[in-house]
Amino acid sequence: MTNICLIGDSHSSALRFGIEANGVSTRHALTYFGLHCRHVPALRIRERKVEAETEEARYELAMASGGQEMITIDSYDEFLIVGFGLYIGYVVSLYRNYRSDCMPGPTRGRYLLSDSCFLATSQRLVEGVEAFTVIRLIRSITDKPITLVATPNPGAGLEKNDMPADFPPFYAALEHGDAEAIAMIFREVCNRLAATHGVRIVPPITEASENGLFNRREFSLLTDQNIATSDPIGAMLHGSDTYGVILARSVFP
Amino acid sequence: MLEQTDLLVFTMGLTEAWIHREDGTVYPTAPGAIVGSYDPLIYTFKNFNYDEVLQDFLELRNLLKALKSDIRFMLTVSPVPLTATAGHEHVLAATTYSKSVLRAVAGYLAMSFQDIDYFPSFEIIAGAQARGFFYESNLRSISAAGVDVVMRTFFREHFGSVESVAETPHNEVQSARCSVAAIDALQEVFCDEMLLEAFAP
């Protein structure tokens, strides 16, 4: 039985459901550490343990793990990092003002970058997310296998006009026919970052995909009427239990 | 796009080209050489000289100034040597001719016009001081280390430091990060609730 340490943010919820539903726990011993993204900068390595410098972060670590306020790296065979900002939205944000050669959409309105420049900029954007801070901490003391799971693509079904002003231009990319190209760039970014950091990255599950940049509605929390009504954007950005099931199949093939 | 351009970075590559005999269209490769067949009755090889390159760039400058009167230019010369030449000289001599003409034109333009600057990426990569270190093993492609040195030099000379570019608030990377972070901030409470729901005992 492999001892796996799962460290994740709110996106762990769907995966956890999938892990239980798929019976993964019978093959692997999993210890969960839940942590909001904002607490990642408070993490430090001390004596081969990941510790948190703030009370709130320590509380969150202990909440899911049965009371463990720190992560003893040597206790685990593998590490599973979930979410922490690994999100296609960064590439879509770059698309607000820039496009690349591989995008078939209209040429006006966005500065043209070469494919390699768009890819390199996307990589730099994505590499700045908290997930890689966690990976660097672990990698600083062990070369044990690490799997990083990307956050799901947004669920389809909300109206473009319901999006906040800062929301990355997912809808524009779709309207202009550039969605597939952006999705392809994000997958390539994941491949490159996996090679750079010596980790395995599980990108958004293509089986759930709709139009490249979105997931079908049923794979998001938009299907939960209560959540979708109270916070439609949050519901759109989080995977459902159904998504968790197919995600768990990819993470634990 | 050109109407909104403040600075055009223009890299001169080589002087060899092909021309349509009737309408004067210029092609970077021999038409039909890769797909189809080359017809010497329709196209002809042309190795541009100093005066022609200079005049072409001045015409381009006038055209762009008509679109955006305050546009500025940064010229560079590609350090990538020719793989082959359609002329009668050896490719080494052909490379030296091409690069010399382009470098001389770029230098003259930078000396003569306030709105034109020259950035010496050619010298950084191809200069003797680099000892060929910045070329890949095929002696033609530029290595990642070479690109890195050129870009670091560029940003240091024009923005103060590489780091200051990364920290510029108007920098696109920063801007895209802020955009996603703004959405994340809106979702903070939601994410906390999701964590609690998933993990609270």
Q: pLDDT tens-digit profile of B38-59?
A: 999 999 999 999 999 999 999 9
- Helix or strand or coil: residue B142? strand
User: CB count, 10 Å around CB of A171?
Assistant: 18
Chain B partners within 8 Å of A63 (Cβ): 195-196, 199-201
Q: Rounded distance, CA B188 to CA A220, Å?
A: 18
Q: Is A28 exposed, middle or buried (0-12, 13-18, 19+ CB in 10 A)?
A: middle
Displacement of CA A192 from its chain's centroid (Å): 16
The answer to whether the beta carbons of residues A18 and A246 sit under 8 Å apart is yes
Is the pLDDT at B167 greater than 60, yes or no? no
Which of the four pLDDT bands, split at 50, 70 and 90, describes residue B145? Answer: confident
Q: Rounded distance, CA A239 to CA A84, Å?
A: 14
Query: Hey, are the CB atoms on A96 and B179 less than 8 Å from each other?
Result: yes
pLDDT of residue B181: 73
Q: Where does B48-136 show beta strands of DSSP type E?
A: 72-77, 116-118
Q: What is the pLDDT of residues B110-141, one digit of tens each?
A: 999 999 999 999 999 999 999 999 998 899 99
Domain total for chain B? 1
The answer to whether residue B97 sits within a structural domain is: yes
The answer to whether residue B198 sits within a structural domain is: no
pLDDT truncated to tens, each residue of chain A (253 aa)?
A: 899 999 999 999 999 999 999 998 888 999 999 999 899 999 999 999 999 999 999 999 998 898 999 999 999 999 999 999 999 999 999 998 889 988 998 877 888 888 888 999 999 889 999 999 999 999 999 999 999 999 999 999 888 888 888 889 999 999 999 999 999 999 999 999 999 999 999 999 999 999 889 999 999 999 988 888 888 888 999 999 999 999 999 999 8
Q: Which residues contact A56 (CB under 8 A, 6 or more apart)?
A: A39
Which of the four pLDDT bands, split at 50, 70 and 90, describes residue B169? Answer: very low
The answer to whether the beta carbons of residues A233 and A178 sit under 8 Å apart is no
Is the pLDDT at B166 greater than 60, yes or no? no
Mutate: best of A12, A13, A230, partner B, most B CBs <10 A: A13
User: Using DSSP, how many helices (H) and how many strands (E) does chain B show?
Assistant: 7, 6
Amino acid at B79: P
pLDDT of residue A48: 94
Query: Hey, are the CB atoms on A10 and B190 less than 8 Å from each other?
Result: yes
Tell me how long chain B is.
201
HSE-CB of A55 using CA atoms within 13 angstroms: 0
The answer to whether residue B168 sits within a structural domain is: no
Which of the four pLDDT bands, split at 50, 70 and 90, describes residue B104? Answer: very high
Q: How many CB pairs under 8 A join A and B?
A: 95
Chain B partners within 8 Å of A83 (Cβ): none
Chain A partners within 8 Å of B176 (Cβ): 90, 93-94, 96, 125
Q: Residue B22's domain spans which residues?
A: 1-119
> What value does the mean pLDDT take over residues B154-177?
63
Going by CATH, does the domain composed of A1-87+129-152+239-253 fall within 3.40.50?
A: yes
- Chain A nearest-CA distance from B180, in A, is 7
Q: Where does B5-71 show beta strands of DSSP type E?
A: 7-12, 16-20, 26-27, 43-47
Closest Cα to residue A200, out of A132, A148, A159, A157?
A: A148
The answer to whether residue B173 sits within a structural domain is: no
Is the pLDDT at B79 greater than 70, yes or no? yes
Q: Rounded distance, CA A213 to CA A211, Å?
A: 6
Those of residues 128-187 in B touching chain A at CB distance below 8 A are 172-173, 175-180, 182-184, 186-187
Amino acid at A11: H
Q: Rounded distance, CA B71 to CA B113, Å?
A: 12
The answer to whether the beta carbons of residues B57 and B50 sit under 8 Å apart is no
The answer to whether the beta carbons of residues A203 and A190 sit under 8 Å apart is yes
The complex's ipTM works out to 0.77
The answer to whether residue B136 sits within a structural domain is: no
Q: Rounded distance, CA A74 to CA B3, Å?
A: 59
Beta pairing partners, B110: none
Query: Hey, are the CB atoms on A93 and B1 less than 8 Å from each other?
Result: no
Q: Where are the domains of chain A?
A: 1-87+129-152+239-253, 88-128+158-189+221-237
pLDDT of residue B173: 67
